[in-house]
Amino acid sequence: MTEDVDAFRASALAFLTANAPLRTNLTDAARGVGDDAIGLLDGHADRTAEAASLQRGRDWRRHVFDCGFGWLGGPPALGGAGRSPQLDEEYRLLERAFDVPDQQPFATGTHLVAPAILANGSEDVQQRFLPGLYRGDLVACQLLSEPEAGSDLAGLHTRAMRDGGDWIVSGQKVWTSQAHLADVGQLLARTDQDAPKHRGLTMFLVDMRSPGVTVRPLRQMTGETHFNEVFLDDVRVPDANRVGPLGSGWSAVMATLMAERAAVGSGAANSAVDPVARLIELARHRGALDDARVRQRLATAHINAELRRFLGLRLEGAVAAGRPIGPEGPILKLLFAQQGRSCGDLAGDLLGPSLVADTGEWGTFAWARWVTGAPMLRIAGGTDEIQRNTLAERSLSLPKEPQQKEPSR
């Protein structure tokens, strides 16, 4: 990076200090202080509270963008600051120390959808969507996974049929994060029924309030409805909202998927609550720090967190240098899935019945949300099995597993 990072940090800190208070509960140094929530997904059981939270987030994001910190690495023609892309991460690191409104609803748009638009979209599409995604005017979701396709994303059945200057889309998507909040959806649909399955796909941007779009919540074990199923019944999408040439959807979505795996894998590192620090304080409170087995499990959790931190830095360096995301994404995701399970197991062993029976004691029952959310990590962004196959075949050049033939009838 050629820019003076120290000077940037000073200016960003001056902005943040003037506009937001410092967080008071970054760690658990003072047990029992503040909110004891610990979870893997941000969510609200109350949709009214969720809408209010989203509006506060929009207001803050618009202020940040208008003051020049919303898209530091973006082209000035699209509302960016035209500076080093690495400064965006520097700003996010600094902002986490301040008590600002929840920014998680905008992450799908800025981290996953916007890069695909920037790399593959026309100038018109970029002008119409990118400033809004980074300013918080638009919340995005991904309309990718389908009930029958499973982990074989290219086997999707949602169809887009040409109708003059529009496309008529019909199909069903599932496990769509925050579809109920989204203004725009990144859609992968089949536009050529005769082409090989990976080549007949095209990416579109869908107005989530279009006639024919139905969003139904999926309630998780945590009690929240972060995920949804989305039904598309003859939804009309302008061809002007197509991202890239016809049939280019698979190559466009692959970059998104690699970024998604990296984002899922580094998720806990981006939280104001450090689960490992919380576990250490829990073990101390329970008088278990002298147990060699507990200490070893805490050390393993700390090592996992440090590995993900260094891998994240390596990935950021690659992105800043213009290199595509490589094995870092799948490795990060596998490590985080492992961390989610192991932290939950240790919390359960330390808490016993207090994990599932709310006694009112700070920092106990709150772990139930982590435990019930952890299985999601093995699925979101591609299953663990898919990640291992990706690493084996693309990074280690191992032969593919033989395809099983369907039994003859």
Q: What is the DSSP letter of 229?
A: E
Instruction: Determine how β-strand 184-190 pairs with β-strand 140-143.
Output: parallel
Q: Give me the phi and psi of 226, to 5 degrees please.
A: -70, -35
**Alpha helices (H) along 45-145:** 47-66, 86-95, 107, 114-120, 123-135
Region of residue 123 (phi > 0: left; psi between -120 and 50: alpha; otherwise: beta): alpha
Closest to 63 (Cα-Cα) out of 100, 104, 98, 94: 100
Determine which one of 260, 281, 316, 328 is catalytic. 260
**Alpha-carbon distances, residue 289 vs 281, 298, 351 (angstroms):** 9, 9, 14
Cα–Cα distance, 203 to 178 (Å, whole number): 19
Residue 336 in tokens: 């985080």
Cα–Cα distance, 253 to 193 (Å, whole number): 19
> At a CB cut-off of 8 Å and minimum separation 6, what does 274 contact?
26, 27, 28, 268, 305
Is 123 an active-site residue? no
**Alpha-carbon distances, residue 241 vs 11, 147, 228, 320 (angstroms):** 37, 25, 23, 28
**Which residues are annotated as catalytic?**
260
